[in-house]
Chain A
Amino acid sequence: DAMVIQNPRYQVTQFGKPVTLSCSQTLNHNVMYWYQQKSSQAPKLLFHYYDKDFNNEADTPDNFQSRRPNTSFCFLDIRSPGLGDAAMYLCATSDRDNGFNEQFFGPGTRLTVL
């Protein structure tokens, strides 16, 4: 089945220790998104890639970076995690070139910062 896969599902890191979350997709979609979701809140868009073009949201902290080495994979790097970065991180994809707005989400990675 075509899908969006996130690894790991649970990640524990220490305050200030860099961490990388990964996302892969078998949908061959040209757009990949990273969202942060805190408890009882809606997902908040951090940034997205349209093919190789990186698009940052204005209020995304510099502490968050992303890489997309190829169509299938996208990474979220948190350079110096703080306690406030503990959240669920969601990857999503969409097929914008075909005019489709639908975004398909992965299962998420829950990040704990100690």
Chain B
Amino acid sequence: GENVEQHPSTLSVQEGDSAVIKCTYSDSASNYFPWYKQELGKGPQLIIDIRSNVGEKKDQRIAVTLNKTAKHFSLHITETQPEDSAVYFCAAIPMDSSYKLIFGSGTRLLVRP
């Protein structure tokens, strides 16, 4: 079955710097890769996603890249702000399941003012 690994587990950056979180997946048939942001005491919020037929997607300060050959995808946050501080989860949905999100272990991002 699908397995998603996420690195780093914690990341501390200075406000205004960029942050990059990386995930690798094992099932080459996986075709959907969302990123969730979870603030303390709240539910995960979908912030961006990418499908396997696209290599990159951008939404303002957030971008996701996908390398199907290497089976990894990354979240890029530019010009970080203190409100970006949260736990970020990557996930994948394998081809043989249209519903089951396989989550990475999460990255705790701290943006220092």
Report how far A106 CA is from B44 CA in the complex, Å: 8
A contact residues around B105 at 8 Å (CB): 41-42
Complex contact A31–B45 (CB within 8 A): no
Residues 22 to 36 of chain B near chain A (Cβ within 8 Å): 32, 34, 36
Q: Assess whether A48 is in contact with B99, with CB atoms less than 8 Å apart.
A: yes
Q: Give CA–CA (A106, B49) in the complex, Å.
A: 18
- Report, as a range, how many residues of chain B touch the other chain: 20 to 34
Q: Check if B43 sits within 8 Å of A105, measured CB to CB.
A: yes
Q: Which of A11-19, A66-74, A76-84, A96-104 contacts B (4 or more CB under 8 A)?
A: A96-104
Nearest chain B CB to A100 CB, angstrom units: 9
Chain A interface residue bracket vs B? 20 to 34
Number of A-B contacts (CB under 8 A): 51
- A108-B42 contact, Cβ under 8 Å, with A42-B103, A102-B34: yes
Q: Given known contacts A42-B89, A42-B104, A102-B49, is B44 in contact with A31 (CB within 8 Å)?
A: no
B32 close to A90 (CB less than 8 A): no
Residues of A within 8 A of B41 (CB): 108, 110
Residues of chain B lying within 8 A (CB to CB) of residue A48: 99
Q: Is the CB of A107 within 8 A of B42?
A: yes
Cβ B93 vs Cβ A101 within 8 A: yes
Q: Mark B15-57, 1 if CB is under 8 A from A, else 0.
A: 0000000000000000010101000011111100100000000
Residue of B nearest to A45 (CB): B100
Q: List the interface of chain A (C-beta within 8 A of B).
A: 4, 6, 31, 33, 40-43, 45, 48, 50, 90, 92, 94, 96, 101-108, 110
